[in-house]
Structures are given as structure tokens and as C-alpha cells.
Amino acid sequence: MTLARKSVTFEGQFRMHRAGSIESPTLAYETWGELNDAKDNAILIFTGLSPSAHAASCAEDPTPGWWEEMIGSGLPLDTDRYFVICVNSLGSCFGSTGPASVNPQTGELYRLSFPVLTLEDIAESAWLVVRYLGIEQLHSVVGCSMGGMTGLALCVRHPEATRSFVSISSATRAMPFSIAVRSLQRELIRSDPKWKKGNYKVGDSPIMGQRLARKLGMITYRSAEEWALRFGRERSTTHARIEDMFVAEFAVESYLENLANKFTGTFDPNCYLYLSHASDLFDLAEYGGSLKSGFKRLNLERALVIGVRTDILFPPVQQRELAAGFAEVCRGTQHVELDCVRGHDSFLVEMDAFRPVICEFFDACPPLTVVAAE
């Protein structure tokens, strides 16, 4: 995963939402397009759990980003019109301060001494970056997966932060199926003897636990329907002896093995634990005691909720809940359920389906001053 090409350090104490504080956090970010004179054409992207801020290629870094086909000239997040910002989440390991960073007060890695991370902390630290860039109000917040909840955290705490909101395969809060999956993923990492209560050595990290957690992740990021179509009962080409039940016999097993090996080593295990836990903790209903009261604090002109029929991690029922909540407080709410088969990951791997919906949203609501200038 490429590190972001820009970063900013905020000197002083950053108070964490739950408890404790960290000293002078650094936030890595990237931007695309130009901020206009009125500074009202900025879009902030909140990422899912694992991506870096490198959402798209840029002059300084031509490697493709994780949302390459979504951001650029003529693309849904059109850099000819918008100034697009993506911040690496606080707590992550791609340039922003997190458990894998050195604590400036001790000169040692934070590891598990990093305070409990919440999506509120990720939202507040990203908001510091936005303000640092001279922006008082965003045109839009776009939040994918965990990032949609981070976006809600920002909007419920700073109702004037943005005029519009795009929630992609996200939710108002995690429900017990997703909590159980993530809790087990964390336990898989912690059960690897090499984890050593977070004190693993560089170059000798809990690879096995990470591989297992990644496999479990993939089982929930995709869909049974996709795999039935894609693999069926196809055998693995690398499978040598059918008598050996511990060699991947089916194509789906080899596929998971390859994906797990690819991911492992790119993400710091402790950072993963913190971000995963933060995803469980967020609850819009904590703002006023109910989802209704949480939504009531929002101040949005337009909201778009996109979900996917086959998503089991952020399922359609949670998309309907989001859409209904937005609709109560924002007349310009739109809900689209896409018929993609690739489950939760669709927004990363079936961008063709998402592009027209996101395009339409931004076409219908261009930055005010750009319109006035024409």
C-alpha cells in the first residue's frame, strides 16, 4: 500500500473521544483537483478499514489508487470541478499516527499503549486536516464501509461540516453479526503466538493470525452468490493429491489462500485491531439516545445511500435504516440498492455499477460558485 504524499502534524495534545490523548498526531492525506476561490468544492473521502489515503494516482505517485476509476477528470468525483481529499485514518499505518507509530513522549512504538480508538477520533482528526486546508464547509462527505460511519460521526458532531453526504455500503452502527465477525478476526490475530500481546518484532509479526483473519474477512466481504457463479465446485489447479485433505482441494480455497498471502505484511496487526474495534464501537444512537435523535442533529441538504443486495456485512436492512433516517431530516435523500453480486466489496470491484449513481448525485449538485461563474 503506497503511503500518502502529503502529511501534516498538529502540535499539541489530541484528546481521544473515549479517554486519554496522543501527542502531536500526524495525518497523511492526498488531494486531487483544485480548491476553488470560494472554497466550497471540497469532497472528503472517509475510507474503509484498510485502505490508505492513496485513493487515486496523482502526478507525484502514478501507481493506481484503491478508487482509481472513481476519482479524476470526467469521473464521478470529477477533479475538473471538485477538490477531493482523502485522509489516512488516525490509527492506521500508512502515514498517519497509530499504534505502529513512535510515541514522541517515550521514543517507543505506541503498540497497545495507544488509547482506545473510535471513529469519532478518526473524524475529528480528518476534520483538522480539512480546516488546515482552509476549508470551513465541505461540499460533500463520501464514506465507504467503516468510512460511512466515520462520516456520520463527523456530521453529528459538526452539523455544518458538509452540505451533502454519500454513504456507500455503510450503516448507522454495527450489528451483532458484524461485531462477531470482527471480534473473531481480532481473536485470530491475538491467538497467534507471535502476536506477543502486541509486542511482536518487526519482521516477525503474527502472519498466521493475519492470514486467518483475512480469510474470514474475505468470506464476509464477498457473497455466496458470487462464489457459486465464479467457482462452483471447481477444483484447485494447484491441488496435487486428492487424498490429502489439508491441501486446498477447491478453487475457492486457493483463491482465499492467495488473497490472504497478498494482504499479509501490508497492514500492521495492532493497527488492524484498533481500527476493527473502532468499527464495532460507533453508534449514531449515542447522540441523544436514539437513532432518531442522532439523525436529528444532522444538517444536510442532500444525502445518498448506496447499498448492495448481496452485502452480508452491511446488509440491505441497514441501508434502508440509513435511508429512512436521512429522509426524516433531509428532503433530498436518495436510496439506491445495487444488484451487484460481489457483496460488500462491490464498491471496490464493481465500480461500473456505482459510477452512474455517484455521477448523477454530483451532477445534480455542483459547487455553487462554479455554477455562478459560468
Residue 91's nearest CA partner among 66, 63, 125 is 125
- Joined grid coordinates for residue 144: 465507504
Percent of the chain as helix, strand, coil, to the nearest 5: 40, 20, 45
CB of 245 to a copy of itself, least distance (A): 4
Q: Pick one of 177, 196, 265, 364: the residue that binds a copy of itself (CB under 8 A).
A: 177
CB of 48 to a copy of itself, least distance (A): 19
- The pairing of beta strand 302-308 with beta strand 21-23: unpaired
Of residues 261 through 290, those in contact with a copy of itself by CB under 8 A are: 273-274, 277, 280-281, 283, 285
Q: Could you say whether residue 349 binds a copy of itself (CB under 8 A)? A: no
Task: Give the active site residue among 50, 96, 145, 164.
Answer: 145
Task: Give the active site residue among 78, 280, 311, 345.
Answer: 311
Q: Distance between CA atoms of 303 and 165, rounded to whole angstroms?
A: 5
Q: Could you say whether residue 193 binds a copy of itself (CB under 8 A)? A: yes
Q: Could you say whether residue 208 binds a copy of itself (CB under 8 A)? A: yes
Confirm if 188 and 213 have CB atoms less than 8 A apart: yes
Burial of 73 (0-12, 13-18, 19+ CB in 10 A): exposed
344 noted as active-site residue: yes
Q: What is the DSSP string of 26-37?
A: EEEEEEES---T
In the complex with a copy of itself, which residue's Cβ is closer, 126 or 181?
Answer: 181
At residue 139, the 3 state secondary structure works out as strand
Amino acid present at 266: T
Q: Pick one of 61, 68, 128, 231: the residue that binds a copy of itself (CB under 8 A).
A: 231
At residue 352, the 3 state secondary structure works out as helix
Of residues 23 through 82, those in contact with a copy of itself by CB under 8 A are: none
Q: Could you say whether residue 256 binds a copy of itself (CB under 8 A)? A: yes
Where on the chain is the footprint of a copy of itself (CB under 8 A)? 18-19, 115-116, 173-181, 183-184, 186-188, 190-191, 193, 208, 212, 215-216, 218-219, 223-224, 227-228, 230-233, 242-243, 245-246, 248-253, 256, 273-274, 277, 280-281, 283, 285, 312, 315
- Catalytically active residues are 145, 311, 344
